Amino acid sequence: MIIGLTGSIASGKSTVSKMLQKKGFPIVDADEIAHLVVEPGSPVLLEISRVFGQGILRADGSLNREKMGERIFGNVEERQKLNSIIHPAIRKEMMRQKEQWISTGSNTVIMDIPLLFESGLQSFVDKIIVVSVTPEIQKERLIARNVLSEEEADARIRSQLPMDEKELRADAVLHNNGPVEDTESQLTEVLSKWNIKK
């Protein structure tokens, strides 16, 4: 079974991903792959610098994520431009990794995809787990984690699909508002309900 794991920014999805990894499940991590496809000298990074200019590169030839972030947050057109370059490469590598795990005998593969719904990747997976938090906790965690102002935090949260919409589209929702042990027991319950084997 291919399980899609998603959530919103600062919902605790990475924490759940680590729990699944500890349980021995193979993880295909879209964020890791997003870093991989824009390594210095990669065709994807060359295309990004062609479209957005050399100014978004650091002196060592790597992508200046902060500068890129400033360009695309709150600018739909720029964000779409970037996504049209990066997303096909990410999808291709995600599929390659998933097939690799399956070919080595894995029964279950976790596809950790932060923007699963936003990118329309539901068809890539059999079941979807959404890690959810209340808006108050989400904002609080995001401000603390990324050292943002309230306005910056709001803009980042608004750039994603609302949490309640994600919950409606999920096969299972993990409420990550309390202690991490609570979230882990919810996860264990979902896995046993779905009869998931490694």
- Give pLDDT tens digits for 44-88: 999 999 999 999 999 999 999 989 988 887 788 998 999 899 989
pLDDT at 130 over 80: yes
Number of domains in the chain: 2
**∠ at Cα 187 (186, 190), nearest 5°?**
90
CA distances from 153 to 7, 12, 68, 141, 157 (A): 16, 16, 17, 10, 6
pLDDT tens column, 153-174: 888 888 889 999 999 999 999 9
Q: Pinpoint the alpha helices (H) of 23-75.
A: 30-36, 43-52, 65-72
Please say which residue of 67, 85, 105 terminates a domain. 105
Do 90 and 14 belong together in one domain? no
Place of tokens 């794991």: 5
pTM here is 0.87
Residue 32 belongs to a domain = no
Instruction: Provide the residue count of the chain.
Output: 198
Over pLDDT 90: what percentage of the chain?
Answer: 79
Do 2 and 98 belong together in one domain? no
Q: How far apart, in Å, do the first and last CA atoms of the chain sit?
A: 9
Do 173 and 75 belong together in one domain? no
Q: Give the structural domain span for 45.
A: 37-105
Separation of alpha carbons 46 and 13, rounded Å: 31
- Read off the CATH number of the domain in which 164 is found: 3.40.50.300
pLDDT at position 23, please?
95
Separation of alpha carbons 191 and 180, rounded Å: 17
pLDDT at position 94, please?
96
Separation of alpha carbons 106 and 25, rounded Å: 8
Residue 161 belongs to a domain = yes
Separation of alpha carbons 111 and 98, rounded Å: 8
